[in-house]
Structures are given as structure tokens and as C-alpha cells.
């Protein structure tokens, strides 16, 4: 009986290799139920098992000419099922990593945008506060803090002593810190350093 069955299967596989759709359907009816439960056990979900089963037989049809009729056909099907289950879990792993990466990138982008908005808003407040400084203090602050000139260079330009430039800066910094603090806005580290670091 087994010999007869094997011969029958070999005949069906041979016809399958030649593109016989009836032979393909016959083989599907013979093996699909067992393969479904194998896949169901491997991947645990009905829908995924059914989808993998359809993909499995699609592969069998597409690669029918590569089938070795001397090898047990059922074993051939089970090897494909095992590989598909492995590929399925690899795909899930890649998707999980991609999702984590996307979530991390989104979080980082959100934080960067938030920092940028805070910095821009603080810069606007700082610019407004600088404009309220008395002229000499504003000029000293602009020369030293914004244009990066030394106290001596600023003193030469303003025709005052370096010590006077320093005093203007100290008073300017104090004023600006008070103005920004009273605005209720938290200073970003970069802006804070920019304000308090005397040259």
C-alpha cells in the first residue's frame, strides 16, 4: 500500500513539474491540513499560519521544475514550512527593531524641535532685552559678547577704559538675567552660558 501510495505521489509530482494544475490541487488537498497545523504550532496564530500555508504552496508551484522526484515530497514540504517559520520570526524581529529605532528617532526629533523652539523663543526675549540696555552698556555687550572682541578692543572703539567696559558688561549681564528670569521662561544652557560667561 505504501509503495502504491509513493508511486501515486511521484506521478503527481512529476505532473506538477510539467505544470499540471490538477496534480497541484491534488497534492494541496493531501498535505495542506497537516502543514497548516505544523505552521500553526510554530507561529501560534491562525491567520499567520494560513497565510504562510498559501505562500508555501505558491512557492511549490513557482519552483515546481526544481523539485527532485527522487526525494520524499512531504519532507520537501516540511523543510519549506520550517524555513518559512524561521523567516517569519526574523521578519518580526526586524520589524520590532525598526519600530524601536523609529520610536527613538521620533522622540529625539521631538526633543530637538522642542529645544529649537525654546532656544528661538529665548533668543527673541534676549534680543528684546538687549535693546532695552542703555546705549553704552548695549554697545559694550554687543562688541564683547556678540562680536567676540576683547575688553581692550571694545575700550579702544568706545574710547573708554577696559575696566569701564568690564563694569558695563557686569551690569548688562545682571540686567539681562533679571529680564529673562521675570519673563517666566527657563533659560537653555547655551543661552545661560552665553549671558554669564564674561570675556
Answer whether 101's CB lies under 8 Å from 76's CB: no
| Long-range contacts, stretch 42-45, CB < 8 angstroms, 24+ apart | 42/81, 42/82, 42/85, 43/85, 43/88, 43/89
- Assess if residue 115 is contained within a domain: no
pLDDT tens profile 44-78: 888 888 989 999 999 999 989 998 888 889 899 99
- Assess if residue 137 is contained within a domain: yes
Answer whether 176's CB lies under 8 Å from 126's CB: yes
- Assess if residue 169 is contained within a domain: yes
**141 plus 93 within the same structural domain:** no
Which residue did the predictor score with more confidence, 157 or 188?
157
**71 plus 138 within the same structural domain:** no
**87 plus 143 within the same structural domain:** no
Which of 76, 49, 78 is CA-nearest to residue 63? 76
- Assess if residue 109 is contained within a domain: no
- Range of lowest pLDDT (1-15, 32-46, 183-197): 183-197
**Residue range(s) defining the domain that contains residue 157:** 132-196
The CATH number of residue 77's host domain is 1.10.1740.10
pLDDT tens profile 69-128: 888 898 999 999 888 888 888 887 777 776 666 566 555 555 555 555 556 666 777 778
**146 plus 93 within the same structural domain:** no
- Angstrom distance (rounded) from CA 144 to CA 142: 6
- Assess if residue 118 is contained within a domain: no
Amino acid at each position: 500500500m505504501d509503495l502504491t501510495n509513493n508511486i501515486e505521489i511521484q506521478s503527481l509530482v512529476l505532473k506538477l513539474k510539467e505544470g499540471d494544475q490538477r496534480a497541484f490541487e491534488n497534492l494541496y488537498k493531501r498535505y495542506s491540513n497537516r502543514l497548516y497545523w505544523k505552521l500553526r504550532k510554530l507561529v501560534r496564530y491562525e491567520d499567520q499560519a494560513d497565510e504562510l500555508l498559501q505562500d508555501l504552496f505558491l512557492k511549490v508551484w513557482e519552483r515546481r521544475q526544481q523539485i527532485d522526484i527522487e526525494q520524499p515530497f512531504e519532507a520537501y514540504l516540511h523543510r519549506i514550512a520550517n524555513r518559512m517559520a524561521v523567516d517569519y520570526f526574523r521578519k518580526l524581529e526586524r520589524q520590532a527593531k525598526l519600530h524601536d529605532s523609529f520610536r527613538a528617532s521620533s522622540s529625539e526629533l521631538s526633543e530637538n524641535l522642542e529645544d529649537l523652539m525654546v532656544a528661538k523663543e529665548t533668543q527673541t526675549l534676549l534680543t528684546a532685552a538687549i535693546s532695552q540696555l542703555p546705549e553704552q552698556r548695549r554697545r559694550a555687550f554687543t562688541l564683547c559678547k556678540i562680536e567676540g572682541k576683547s575688553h581692550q578692543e571694545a575700550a579702544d572703539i568706545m574710547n573708554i577704559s577696559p575696566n569701564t567696559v568690564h563694569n558695563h558688561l557686569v551690569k548688562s549681564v545682571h540686567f539681562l538675567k533679571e529680564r529673562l528670569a521675570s519673563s517666566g521662561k527657563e533659560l537653555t544652557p547655551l543661552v545661560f552660558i552665553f549671558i554669564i560667561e564674561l570675556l
